[in-house]
Structure 1
Amino acid sequence: MSQTPLLDRALIEEATKKSGLIWVRGTGPSRALWHIWLDGAAHLIGDGPGEQPLPGLVDGSTAEVTVPSKDKGARLVSWTATVRDLAPGTEEWDTAVAELKGKRLNAPDAEQMTARWARECRVVRLTPEGDTRPHPDGSLAAVPLTTSATTRLPAPAGLPKLLLKRKRRSGK
């Protein structure tokens, strides 16, 4: 077995584990989603009241995952994932939900959260398939939409003097 796939898997796991969120694109646009890394895959909770939306993540399809750096936000690694919904009540679902519950911030119903997730939400497993994807050329930033909005006018010429006076007064 080549060393490159092993290094790719290690890079995917470490980067995704340490990142607070991942950008996921299924059939629609990319979305920033919080997650946990468990048993070699990213796990998400969503599509329920008060939870993050998971549009475009269809069971059995693939998704592109981009992992940003936690401190700078720059793209660290991109990888293709197989999307799989976990069925409530299974051992895999219970394990994932136990970890997700510990990471869920500001839950309105912490005591009944897992029961609500079983009734109303989806737990999705994103399993890496293949190697990492090469970084694309350019920034991939979208062209801004045309608008009649404008930027503000330049600062008045006397403003720097006024601000400097305030600093002098507050410094004494």
Structure 2
Amino acid sequence: MQNSLQGIELFKASVSISHQENCASGTCIDKNLLENYPPELIVGFQLLESVERSGTRRFAIHCGSADNQQHNGLLAWVFNTDLRYSFKDTSSASRSISAKCAMKVFYKHVANVQPLVNPDLGMPSVTSLEELRLPLHIYHCIKTVLEKSTSLLPPSGRKFGEWEIGLLDLESA
């Protein structure tokens, strides 16, 4: 419940879909039949939509509330929205080489995102920065996915100055 808006806020990355008919109350839902997607895929498409809609490529991603409390977060810069990469699929018996579509994201950890998203009166604001507030478990998922993808890159491609480089897949596994 979001008190300031007096409504319920749904986070797309936490939604599951049921295709069962004649089940209006939700009590007959078989959780094994729910369709859901990895949170990083949904958040990746949220970032992509924002890039295409407003041209914004820098994001303050955090799990904080709307108050002005200090919250850790990520400063993310969507560098490339259409990156194809190949990898050796060790999960299949054939161990074939597969290709995936992803977005290349430069990111860095920020101890307090509040001055970035809500600067003090008289302080300059970052005009090309969009806030992406996520539930704690989804924030940790995104952070973990970016960090794991960084470790998959060759050592020379893991950092750019003060930025770490990661990938967000835009295809479901």
The TM-score with structure 1 as length reference comes to 0.28
The TM-score with structure 2 as length reference comes to 0.28
Q: Greater CA radius of gyration, 1 or 2?
A: 1
